[in-house]
Amino acid sequence: MKPMAHLGVGIGWRPEIADAVERLSGLDWVEVVAENVCPGHLPESLLRLRERGTRVVPHGVSLGLGGADRPDPAKLAALGERAVALGAPLVTEHIAFVRTSSPVLEAGHLLPVPRTRDALDVLCENVRIAQDALPVPLALENIAALFSWPGEELTEGRFLTELVERTGVRLLIDVANLHTNRVNRGEDPAAVLDAIPLEALAYVHVAGGIERNGVWHDTHAHPVPPVVLDLLAELRSRVEPAGVLLERDDDFPPEAELAGELAAIRAVVTAGRAAPGEPVTDGSGRAGTGPGTGPGTEPRTEPGAEASSGPGTEAGSGPGTEPGTEPRPVAESARTRVALGQAALLSALVAGTPVPEGFDRRRIRVQARALAAKRADVVAKLAPELPVILGGPDPYREAFLSYAKGRPMTSGYRRDALDFAEDLLIRDLPADPAARRRLTTWWRDRAGARPPRRIVRWARTLAGRAA
């Protein structure tokens, strides 16, 4: 696998800290949530960063490559458009599932895939489909999880290794997620780092979180704790990463604190860097010297020139295939088994159906509450008028969580906001007539229709109760 081009130390670009990001000294690159930017109308801040030569990498959150269904061509095309518009060297996504098609349900969040042979086969085929459709290389991130699947057949290290060997995909290793999974699933981060092919490393994520009642929540809203910096140092002792990025998504601190966290990350990355001419390990037990072996040198390849061939394999080849041949398609029975398991789990998480056998019921309840809370938070950001109309954050949150119990999300968050408003109107809420008129106007302006007539409201209410 060809060396990854140098990225350096970066930060996740968010609109709330756009001005601060532009002022951060020594910033090498930024990452943007792909779904939050429009190729034809890029934010002025991102355009200025690009003009200064700052690289921008789109980070997708909605493909759901670990899901039972094949990737949505429209979503792949949209991700590719953003890569082109941003001049990105690569795009990144997650090893996760986010939806099911039977029944149609959206998690609104990244959920872990079972580490089984069936799930790995499905993931590998979905990754190859994505690689064929995208204009730049793809890297996939290990996710944080609150729970484990019963009956898993592979360790995290083996799962990731086989994924790389069979598809040639790059890895985006989130060391904060390694810590999360240590607390929540009892997994040893060092064992994962020892097992995976670090020569496939694209870059690294670092983020903060918090522990509550023995569960680590990967919030991206708290300072990076020392334990996560220690894991970055563990990784750095094995390989010199091409890039490291700080993620922050909420409760943004003052600019000086962001700069301090970046400085702490940079100190870990540069500690123990080999002097010119000394061997630098590539994470695979081999050593190399000279250009392209780590940050601070000129890369031997163009950004993202890793293409799509994996360690010791032709592109797309893997166990059970001859080099240069097409891999065998995944049996539909495997997709069906994965689909049934994911549907049962997601239905328990968002629709209140019984928890499937073998799962930790307490952890599933924690995950279900977290999903509902995230829905409430995201809808409030997308539609800030709703908390105002409903009398403030607390009444809004109470009303939304009540709605979410009986209305699982079946599309995106924008649709969820409209459905929430419509649900309130169907139930003749809010109680204050003036607030209800304001909500009616808000809903009509965005839905392009009149609110349902009273007879329709009754019918929908009765149908919902029957369901």
Tens digit of each residue's pLDDT (9 = 90 or more) over 167-224: 999 999 999 999 999 999 999 999 999 999 999 999 999 999 999 989 999 999 999 9
Who wins on pLDDT, 329 or 50?
50
Who wins on pLDDT, 316 or 79?
79
Tens digit of each residue's pLDDT (9 = 90 or more) over 337-392: 999 999 999 999 999 999 999 999 999 999 999 999 999 999 999 999 999 999 99
Phi-psi region at 214: left, alpha or beta (left = phi > 0; alpha = psi -120 to 50): left
Q: What pLDDT shows up at residue 456? A: 52
Nearest of 353, 386, 350 to residue 370 by alpha carbon: 350
In 10 A of CB 433, how many CB atoms? Answer: 9
Tens digit of each residue's pLDDT (9 = 90 or more) over 264-309: 999 999 985 654 444 444 444 434 333 333 333 333 343 444 433 3
Tens digit of each residue's pLDDT (9 = 90 or more) over 56-74: 999 999 999 999 999 999 9
- What mean pLDDT is predicted for residues 250-261? 95
Tens digit of each residue's pLDDT (9 = 90 or more) over 9-55: 999 999 999 999 999 999 999 999 999 999 989 999 999 999 999 99
- What mean pLDDT is predicted for residues 308-315? 36
Q: What pLDDT shows up at residue 294? A: 37
Q: What pLDDT shows up at residue 329? A: 79
229 — pLDDT class (breaks 50, 70, 90): very high
313 — pLDDT class (breaks 50, 70, 90): very low
Q: What is the 3-state secondary structure (H, E, C) of the chain?
A: CCCCCCCEEEEECCHHHHHHHHHCCCCCEEEEEHHHCCCCCCCHHHHHHHHCCCEEEEECCCCCCCCCCCCCHHHHHHHHHHHHHHCCCCEEEECCEEEEECCEEEEEEEECCCCCHHHHHHHHHHHHHHHHHCCCCEEEECCCCCCCCCCCCCCHHHHHHHHHHHHCCEEEEEHHHHHHHHHHHCCCHHHHHHHCCHHHEEEEEECCCEEECCEEECCCCCCCCHHHHHHHHHHHCCECCCEEEECCCCCCCCHHHHHHHHHHHHHHHHCCCCCCCCCEEECCCCEECCCCCCCCCCCCCCCCCCCCCCCCCCCCCCCCCCCCCCCCCCCHHHHHHHHHHHHHHHHHHHCCCCCCCCCCHHHHHHHHHHHHHHHHHHHHHHCCHHHHHCCCHHHHHHHHHHHHHHCCCCCCHHHHHHHHHHHHHHCCCCCCHHHHHHHHHHHHHHHCCCCCCHHHHHHHHHHHHHC
Residue entry with tokens 């060997």: 165
Q: What pLDDT shows up at residue 448? A: 75
Q: What's this model's pTM, rounded to 2 decimal places?
A: 0.85
Q: What pLDDT shows up at residue 286? A: 38
Tens digit of each residue's pLDDT (9 = 90 or more) over 83-138: 999 999 999 999 999 999 999 999 999 999 999 999 999 999 999 999 999 999 99
